[in-house]
Amino acid sequence: MKRRLLLVSNSTLHGSGYLDHCQQHIKDFFGKDVKRVLFVPYALHDRDAYTKTARNKFNTLGYELDSIHEASDPVTAVRKAEGIFIGDSNTFRLLKSLYDNKLLTEIRRRVLEDGVPYMGSSAGTNVSTVSISTTNDMPIVCPPSFSAIGLVPFNINPHYLDPDPGSRHMGETREQRITQYHEEPDTPPVLALREGSLLLVEGKKATLLGSTKARLFTRGKPTVEYDAGSDLSFLLTYGH
């Protein structure tokens, strides 16, 4: 399998600018062979402004950036892409737009069969997985299905927050919500990426990168913490 994925928890880390915290990982990931990256800004309403932000950042890293919303034919744009970056904001809006433009199958094919590198941030990370069922976002629109692109056989929860024992907030914690997800049958593992963490997938190898730990939730099993640098390749074999 040729897949190469860089799945980022968050695009902006407290105290730094847009993608600053992972910019070296981005350069290492796309390398020198990729000259132009196809950006998918569907998660945000103002696609022009979002594209400007992403384009400015990628230009400073040495890459040209083309936005799919500016293309006359989005499917053709994916077919010609050297690299793909799907950005963050509302996961439901993003997935609905991917369905509306008939892009899920084409992105999956380009990444898994052609080896086109795929980068996702937050919502863009969510849609790379089995489903968006473990997103933190509100369903402001309704996609035809929660099923996502399926580049990996598990789910991810970006921006994971640990329970705060001193908080007076009486709502559910992120831990409780993921546990409720696993009360349903046949639900895959959920990798909870704290802000500052990212997952690099190269073929059959998966490595946790970044500055924070990640937490793995598996149905019927205790949760497990993993340090940055951990080999998480076993997650890629889930369901096999």
Active site residues: 122, 137, 159
Nearest alpha-carbon partner for 39 in 26, 56, 55, 27: 55
Q: Which strands form 190-194's sheet, in the order they lie side by side?
A: 155-160, 190-194, 214-217, 224-226
Other Cβ atoms within 10 Å of 24 Cβ, number: 10
Cβ atoms of residues 155 and 133 within 8 Å: yes
Cβ atoms of residues 230 and 193 within 8 Å: no
